[in-house]
Amino acid sequence: MTTIATRPKTTGERPAIVGLLWMDGSPHRWVVNVATWLAAALMVASGVIHLHLWDIAYRHVPTIGPMFIAQGVAAIVFAVAASVVRRVWTGLIGAGTMIATLAGFLISVNYGLFGFQDSWTGAYATKTFVIEIASAVLFLTAVAFSITDRAARTAPAGGPARP
């Protein structure tokens, strides 16, 4: 006779990666909330600036113009989602969006992108660059506080944190 050993299911237990990306109940919740809300506000500013730039100049630039609309709309949607949900995965998406936007700008300035070369002297270039760096840093700060807090919460009494 063959028996299959099954692991008893405990309530509230999640796989490690899911648990890491789905944080709540942090004693540093106010730090995570404030950092996330500030990052989201800056992300909205980046999105609004991109939509404004599309309206006044970039609508006529092939490929780059539609990318400005996509960045503007995505930044606003992701910012609202991150500020409402406030989880590690939303912080990572927010930071990733800002870093990707920064990378696109730097590639466009230094090498050109889709046949278009941008410059630091363009309207809002430096201002938007600083806003996007600050937003990414704040999102990553919120993520760091959530992740480091998780290790402290999963530690058994009198011993190191569980893997």
Compute the 3-state secondary structure of the chain and give helix, strand, coil in percent, each to the nearest 5. 70, 0, 30
Q: Rounded distance, CA 108 to CA 113, Å?
A: 5
Q: What is the mean pLDDT of the chain?
A: 82
Average pLDDT over residues 27-37: 85
Structure tokens belonging to residue 145: 């506080």
Q: From residue 93, give the alpha-carbon distance in Å to each of 87, 88, 115, 123, 154.
A: 10, 9, 28, 26, 25
For residue 19, pLDDT over 70 is answered with no
- The reported pLDDT for the residue numbered 113 is 86
- Pick the closest to residue 102 from 133, 80, 75 (CA basis): 133
pLDDT tens digits, one per residue of 122-133? 889 999 999 999
Q: Which tokens is 2 given?
A: 């063959």
Model confidence pLDDT, tens digit, residues 58-80: 899 999 889 989 999 999 999 99
Inter-axis angle of helices 64-85 and 88-110, nearest 10: 160
Query: Which of the two residues, 154 and 32, has the higher pLDDT score?
Result: 32
Whole-number pLDDT of residue 85: 86
Q: 112-121 long-range CB contacts below 8 Å, 24 or more apart?
A: 113/64, 114/62, 114/63, 114/64, 115/62, 115/63, 116/61, 116/63, 116/64
Compute the distance between CA of residue 77 and CA of residue 15 in angstroms, rounded to an integer. Answer: 28
Task: Work out the average pLDDT over 113-126.
Answer: 85
Which of the four pLDDT bands, split at 50, 70 and 90, describes residue 4?
A: low
